[in-house]
Structure 1
Amino acid sequence: MVQLTMQEINLSRVDLNLFVVFDAIYREGNLTSAAQQLHLSQPAVSHALARLRERFDDPLFERAGKGMAPTPLAKAIVQRVRSALQDLESTLGEGLAFEPAEASRVFTLAARDVMEFTALPPLMVHLQKTAPNIQLRSLRVPRRDMINQLSRGQIDFAADVLLPVNSDIEHQPLGCEHLAVAMRCDHKLVGQKLTMEHYAKARHILVSSRNEGPGVEDFALSRLGLNREISLRCQNYYAALQVAKETDLLVTLPLSYARQMEQAGGIRITPLPLETPAVEVHLYWHRKANRDPALMWLKQQMLECLPRVMSD
């Protein structure tokens, strides 16, 4: 009978404060004392008890001399009620205070592949030292969905170029990316200063997530009345560099990524002979995250770690 009664209760229709009153009455054994402990009037406590009795279809407490004695049902549920209240208090406490060394939480970051490659290693090294139980998920989110996913809490942060956002989305610069040119180690241009003429005459790989359209460097070339031959258009820089290692094609890519790939071997990098504006990379989050100490802590870690891998 008790199990059936409990199943019939719809939690969404129950005021959880009623269980705080239940616990106080059970502990004090008296409505007046319970009211004093809760800083409520005695009629308010009596009304709460009446609502609980209706919910459980049981008196819960019965008169016993000057006090109130729990019924068998009240005795059966008191430990579960207290355990649930303690869990809620712990959850609220964790929301107000965040201890990185002891915390266990999953955070989600939307980032492009270049940011993953350059930023995740130093960030994870730092997190493993300061918050070893933290988990970080890095996702690829289309730019058109970024605001919506931040608003709905599907992602906690996003790292991307400067984008138009609404007033609910806050952002802060992580740093600036400059561009470089990569080629295979025995390319005929290795060892020479890469000139505008060399660059315009060479064949290129264009990396873009879009199906069509020019790259940043193409806009700079067009302002000079020049264009270049695109032999391959692909979606990520790693694939482009693997092709460049085996061909005479050039790849224009972010300098921080190019430096790390040059250290891995197989390519040489040189400055881009074009004046292009540095690409600002920003960290984005929803303003409601400002009330979450854990998210604000992670934001600070990213603001400190990620600019180190960006080019000056």
Structure 2
Amino acid sequence: MHLSRTDLNLFVVLDAIYSQGSITRASQVLNLSQPALSHALARLRTMFDDPLFVRQGAAMVPTPFTRGIITQVRQGLQLFEASLQTDQSFHPSQTQRRFHLGLRDVFEATILPPLVQKISEQAPGITIASVRVDRREIETALSSGDLDMVLEVPIPLSNQIRQQRVSRDRLIVLSRKGHPQMPKKKNQVLALDTYLQQAHVLVSSRRQGVGLEDFELNREGLRRQISLRCQHYFAACRVVSETDLLLTMPEQYASIANAQFMNRIDPFPLATQPIDAHLYWHSSADNDPANSWLREQLLNLMHP
């Protein structure tokens, strides 16, 4: 296969069918007729000598060959797009682009409202899709182009993934007003022994495993009693407001999730390292002006 005899638009079609899982949806995204897309798929199948996708019901399921090349295809498309936009013609107000961000609920609640406001003012053609991603899949998602950026705690990744620290937080403890075991005096701090004697809520998207606060406790040989495990801090805040359970969570998000419930806030009764959040993106997006513009907005919002 020689590049000079290859229609590069075919790779755009391949990526669209892979992303949408449907010729109908891919044709809508690319603004092409279904016959035109089917013709392009036929050319791709001949070029690669592989079915590329197998129909299962209404879905187009990629073959192992397609799964094996899609990361390289997407990286190539990103590089081509970036190279076409490296001049001075980039204007946020004229850009039509959809970005996929990997965000946990903590960051959705804190960063999406001001980010969407900024985009609506300066780049109304940009749309955002926020999705949750397993930490073990971040590098794969960024490399394949499934995600454009991720906000997450520090994790080890290869040199192909760029990162920058964007925020620093600390742990606090929530309890209902009038909790019988919490300190009664105004300036009295929550004692570690008191904290450990209470029942706790753990917020996690995983079915098993401990939280960040438990890692800190375990380092000191300490354990706490987890009476409830749930998926979202908002739900946990409500549970705390109606029970004697305690909730440990990041302070910045507590100012939002706890606003409705007005639970008591105490410092976490153990000295811990700050909770850092990093912004991650793939090196192939370094010179993409739209990606760079959005990264700049995120950095400015998290470092006002």
TM-score, with normalisation over the residues of structure 1? 0.66
Give the distance between the partners of 2:127 and 2:7, measured in 1 at CA: 34
Q: 2:152 aligns to what? A: 160
Given residue 163 of structure 2, which amino acid in structure 1 is its aligned partner? H
8 A Cα contact 1:182 1:270, kept in partner: yes
Q: 2:251 aligns to what? A: 255
User: Residue 146 in 1 paired to residue 138 in 2?
Assistant: yes
For residues 64-119 of structure 1, give each alpha carbon's deviation from its aligned partner in whole angstroms, at most 9, with x where no partner exists. xxxxxxxxxxxxxxxxxxxxxxxxxx997556432112222111110111010111
Give the distance between the partners of 1:219 and 1:148, measured in 2 at CA: 27
Sequence identity (%): 42
Q: Stretches of 4+ moved more than 6 A in 1?
A: none
Q: 1:133 aligns to what? A: 125
Given residue 302 of structure 2, which amino acid in structure 1 is its aligned partner? L
8 A Cα contact 1:161 1:281, kept in partner: yes
Q: 1:288 aligns to what? A: 284
Give the distance between the partners of 1:242 and 1:118, measured in 2 at CA: 19
Give how far 1:262 is off. 3.2
Give the distance between the partners of 1:187 and 1:233, measured in 2 at CA: 20
- The alignment covers a number of residue pairs equal to 225
Give the distance between the partners of 1:209 and 1:118, measured in 2 at CA: 18
Q: 1:49 aligns to what? A: none
8 A Cα contact 1:201 1:228, kept in partner: yes
Give the distance between the partners of 1:207 and 1:263, measured in 2 at CA: 18
8 A Cα contact 1:119 1:306, kept in partner: yes
Q: 1:124 aligns to what? A: 116
Q: 1:268 aligns to what? A: 264
8 A Cα contact 2:166 2:278, kept in partner: yes
8 A Cα contact 1:262 1:269, kept in partner: no
Q: 1:172 aligns to what? A: 164
Give how far 1:289 is off. 0.1
Give the distance between the partners of 2:136 and 2:259, measured in 1 at CA: 34
Q: 1:103 aligns to what? A: 95
The 1:224–1:146 alpha-carbon spacing in structure 2 relative to 1, beyond 3 Å, is: closer
TM-score, with normalisation over the residues of structure 2? 0.68
The 5 Å alignment of 1:173-192 reads: 173-188=165-180, 189=182, 191-192=184-185
Segments of structure 1 that go 5 or more residues without pairing to the other structure are 1-10, 17-89
Q: 2:23 aligns to what? A: none
Give how far 1:294 is off. 0.7
Determine helix, strand or coil for the equivalent of 1:166. coil
8 A Cα contact 2:237 2:258, kept in partner: no
Give the distance between the partners of 1:258 and 1:169, measured in 2 at CA: 30
Segments of structure 2 that go 5 or more residues without pairing to the other structure are 9-80
User: Residue 209 in 1 paired to residue 197 in 2?
Assistant: no
8 A Cα contact 1:262 1:268, kept in partner: no
User: Residue 233 in 1 paired to residue 229 in 2?
Assistant: yes
Given residue 191 of structure 2, which amino acid in structure 1 is its aligned partner? T
For residues 171-213 of structure 1, give each alpha carbon's deviation from its aligned partner in whole angstroms, at most 9, with x where no partner exists. 0101112111112233232655211121111110111233222
Q: 2:301 aligns to what? A: 305
Give the distance between the partners of 1:206 and 1:169, measured in 2 at CA: 31
Given residue 156 of structure 1, which amino acid in structure 2 is its aligned partner? D
Give the distance between the partners of 1:190 and 1:236, measured in 2 at CA: 27
Q: 1:55 aligns to what? A: none
Larger Rg: 1
